[in-house]
Structure formats: structure tokens, C-alpha cells
Amino acid sequence: MVKETCYTEFGLGHYFLASVSEKEQFLAEPNSNRPNWPAIGLLLLANLIALSFLHSPGTGDVSIWRNWIDQMSAFGLTGGFVHSGTDYPPLSLIILAMVSRCADVFGTTVFLSLKCSLLIFLIATAASFYWFSRNLILTVALEFSLILNSVALGYLDIYFAPFLIAAFFCLQRGHFTIGVVLFTISCSIKWQPLLIAPFICIYVMTTVGEGLSGRDRVSKRAMPFLIAALIVALPLVMTFGAGAIINSLERAMTRHNFISGYALNFGWLHTWALHLWAPEKYGGLQNGEVDLIQTRDALLMLPEKILFYLSYAAILIAFALKKKTFRHLIVYSILGYLSYFLFNTGVHENHLFPIACLAWILVFIDSSQLVRAINLSIAANINLFLFFGVFGQRINTVIAGVDMTLWFALANVGLFAGLLLHTFRRNGVRLKFSFQ
């Protein structure tokens, strides 16, 4: 087994450098076998905080989930998927159908059943992370970073989180088939993880079957994807129809005609600039506050599209040309997804969610990335908080006539640029390759 230099003792003061195998890193216990009561107490506190948001009304998206449930009640599961006009994959609606059924069984409201399901998946996400990491502190950090998105504001991203986390850990352990199957499940719950799919495909295709040659290597590398297609994709296609699923994906890619859908990114800065430059067309600032701009003008959104396609392609090519380590998979997946969040149009405030999951996996394998993971988790949560607080109501972000969301949008761009330059410099990627 190839040995890598990594940090094996997690601490804020200093790190002890050692050379260990990935297997030894996974099996290593922090300090002793005695229960870490302070960490256990912190984990209980995180779950109590999550539980306290059980009756939080969430954002307006909660009413959309309720509408989808009503459509399934009226037309059945497959008919409801079509009539709802959803831009989510089928597994999300299957989970929501189960939420509705549980509400009937336990004699409670659909809303409370929904919030309980979000809490259960939050706990499952933490359990999934701890199962592989055996690190309570990092597990608590991960759970804290996901509470606002899930139980508090009522987004459905938490449904795919345990599968996404388990998928990456399985890939690190060399369980490629299970990893690809779990990742496919996460993509069948929300479409956003598909942005990471090219990185996983490259990693699997270049890692599986090392030492083999010819037909054996090809079949070995294709097997994880064939099994995932048979276990996950094929049953969904047979149940809901390929056309309905493709239409759902198309709606996800084209329906949201915002320059920025409350995402603190380059598009949000562009939105602010349009309010100033053409208030007669796009509306002026309301007491200094920036608001959404909807448009189908392809030329107006061209800067975002160019930046997204160029940056994403450069990051993907750089990953394809470098050595395929698991650390590189995590880092380049984060960079690729950040390029989508920062530069694509129609991005929403909750779309940084996968980054919070990947960031804490990165810290587990490289504890020197702790500060970066904290920054990414803050970015994901502050984007939610500035627009919807903790109870789904937008807060006043204007201070001294300036909307503070602009500063956070700039900070997010800077966070991406810093990670990009650090990664390219560390891996010997020529900067002129990414900018020319």
C-alpha cells in the first residue's frame, strides 16, 4: 500500500507529522479508548440545537415541498412526479411520499413529519461521518455546519448528505463499486452532486484495475458504473420514465432565470451593478438593499457563463493531468463545485451545501486544512443566514447604506481564488494554463 505523509493527530496548537498508510489512518484512535465525554457532550448539544428548530417555519421552499406531496396524493407517485413540474430527481419525491405516509401513520401534520425527517437525516449524516472517521470533534463540526440548512430552514439537501459522505469514504477505502452506487443515489436525490461526477469518474477510471491490462482493466473500471446503473438508475427510469427524469434535469438547468438566486457570488455583484447602472430597467436599490434580477437575456448572463465554463474546464483538466490521490479528488471536487456556485447563473443560496460536507472530509485526511474548512462552512451558512435568518425571514443587511451581502460575495470569490492558487501552486500546475 502506498504510504502518504499526513497529519495524524488533530490539535489546534500543533500537529505531529508521521508517515502512515490510509488504512492505519482510518483505524487510529485519538489518544485512548476511554470515552471522550466533552466531545460526546458537544455532540448532544448539537443535536439539542437541531431539535430546537423542529417547529421553525423554514423558507418559502417548504410550501413547494407540500405542493409536491399534494400532487403525489392526487396523482400517485409517478403521476405526481410529472404533474408537480419538479426540478428535483425522483428519489426526493419518494422520500417526501414517505414523509406524507409517516404523517398519516403517526397522526401528525405533514410539516412536522417533514421536519422530523430532516432531523433524522441530519443525525444519519453525522453517524455516517463518524462511522468512517471515528472523530467526534469533526463529526460535531460537520453537524453544526448543516443544522441551519436542514432542520432550521427546511431545505432538502440533507437527504443526500449521508450518501455523499459515505460514497467518498468508500472511494478512499478502495470500495469503488459501493462508492459509485452511493454517489449515484445522492445524484438521484438532488442534481447538484452531478457537478462532482466528472471528478469521481476520472478518479475511478484511473485508479481501478491498476496492475491489470487490456480487456480485464476496461471491464474492471466499467463495472462500478454498470452496477450503479442497474441498481439505481434503471429502476428509477423504469418507474418514472426517462423522459420525465430528463425534463426534471432540464428544468433544474434552465428554469431559474436569475443572475443570482440569492447566492453570494459573482452574479450577486453583477446584480448590484445592474441596479446601479440601469435602475430604470432592472429597478434601483431599495434603501441600499440588493434584490433578485430575473432575465432571459443570454448576452447579459454571458460573463457568468464564460467564467463558469472556463474555470470548471481548467480545474477538471488540471485534475485529469495530476496524480489521482484521494486528497486531490476532494480538493478538485471542491474547486469544481465552487466554480459553479460562484460563476454560474441561477445558483441559489443553499447550493453551497455539498461544500460543507466535503470540507470536513478534507480536514479528516489533512488537518492543516482546518481553517479553510471553517471558512467554507461559514460561507455556506452566512449565505443562508443573511437572506433568511434562522426562521426563514430575511434580515436587514444594510449598514451605513451598503448591503453587507456584497462584502461576503467578494469574500467568497477571494476564498475560491485563494484555494485555487494554493492548489495549483502546490501541484505544480502552471497558472498560465488556467487563465489563457
Chain centroid to Cα 364, Å, comes to 17
Task: Check residue 410 and report its DSSP letter.
Answer: H
Across the chain, mean pLDDT equals 90
pLDDT band of 213, cuts 50, 70, 90: confident
Residue 32 in this model has a pLDDT that exceeds 60? no
Q: Compute the distance between CA of residue 306 and CA of residue 315 in angstroms, rounded to an integer.
A: 14
Residue 10 in this model has a pLDDT that exceeds 70? no
The candidate with the shortest Cα–Cα distance to 142, out of 331, 376, 351, is 376
Predicted pLDDT of residue 85: 93
3-state secondary structure of 225: helix
3-state secondary structure of 174: coil
Q: Compute the distance between CA of residue 29 and CA of residue 41 in angstroms, rounded to an integer.
A: 19
pLDDT band of 3, cuts 50, 70, 90: very low
3-state secondary structure of 53: coil
Predicted pLDDT of residue 427: 85
User: What is the rounded average pLDDT of the residues 353-365?
Assistant: 97
Q: Compute the distance between CA of residue 290 and CA of residue 77 in angstroms, rounded to an integer.
A: 39
Residue 116 in this model has a pLDDT that exceeds 70? yes
Q: Tell me what percent of the residues of the chain surpass a pLDDT of 70.
A: 90
Residue 16 in this model has a pLDDT that exceeds 70? no
Predicted pLDDT of residue 432: 52
Predicted pLDDT of residue 200: 98
Instruction: Tell me if 193 sits within 8 A of 347, measured CB to CB.
Output: no
Predicted pLDDT of residue 21: 40
Q: Who's near 222: CB < 8 A, 6+ residues apart? A: none
pTM above 0.85, yes or no: yes
Residue 170 in this model has a pLDDT that exceeds 70? yes
Give just the sign of the alpha carbon dihedral 323, 327, 329, 334. Answer: negative
Task: Give, in order, the Cα–Cα distances in Å from 428 to each of 295, 318, 341, 421.
Answer: 40, 10, 25, 10
Reported as a single tens digit per residue, the pLDDT across 310-336 is: 999 999 999 999 889 999 999 999 999
Cell of 362: 478534507
User: What is the rounded average pLDDT of the residues 343-350?
Assistant: 97
Instruction: Tell me if 129 sits within 8 A of 161, measured CB to CB.
Output: no
Residue 167 in this model has a pLDDT that exceeds 80? yes
Reported as a single tens digit per residue, the pLDDT across 242-284 is: 999 999 999 999 888 999 999 999 999 999 999 999 999 999 9
Reported as a single tens digit per residue, the pLDDT across 121-166 is: 999 999 999 999 999 999 999 999 999 999 999 999 999 999 999 9
Reported as a single tens digit per residue, the pLDDT across 367-380 is: 999 999 999 999 99
Residue 228 in this model has a pLDDT that exceeds 70? yes
Reported as a single tens digit per residue, the pLDDT across 174-212 is: 999 999 999 999 999 999 999 999 999 999 999 987 767
The candidate with the shortest Cα–Cα distance to 81, out of 70, 93, 66, 67, is 93
**Beta-sheet pairing, 17-20 with 4-7:** antiparallel
Q: Which long-range contacts (CB under 8 A, 24 or more apart) does 6-12 make?
A: 6/365, 6/366, 7/366, 7/367, 7/368, 9/367, 10/135, 10/137, 10/138, 10/367, 12/370
Predicted pLDDT of residue 106: 96
Q: Who's near 156: CB < 8 A, 6+ residues apart? A: 65, 88, 92, 95, 118, 189, 190
Residue type, 131: W
Q: Compute the distance between CA of residue 34 and CA of residue 119 in angstroms, rounded to an integer.
A: 28
User: What is the rounded average pLDDT of the residues 280-297?
Assistant: 94
In our burial notation (b when 16+ CB lie closer than 10 A, e otherwise), range 56-75 reads bebbebbeebeebbebbeee
3-state secondary structure of 294: strand
Q: Compute the distance between CA of residue 73 and CA of residue 71 in angstroms, rounded to an integer.
A: 5
Predicted pLDDT of residue 24: 39
Predicted pLDDT of residue 218: 83
The candidate with the shortest Cα–Cα distance to 321, out of 414, 225, 186, 430, is 430
Predicted pLDDT of residue 211: 66
In our burial notation (b when 16+ CB lie closer than 10 A, e otherwise), range 279-316 reads eeebeebeebebeebebeeeeebeebeebbeebbebbb
Predicted pLDDT of residue 362: 97
Residue 72 in this model has a pLDDT that exceeds 60? yes
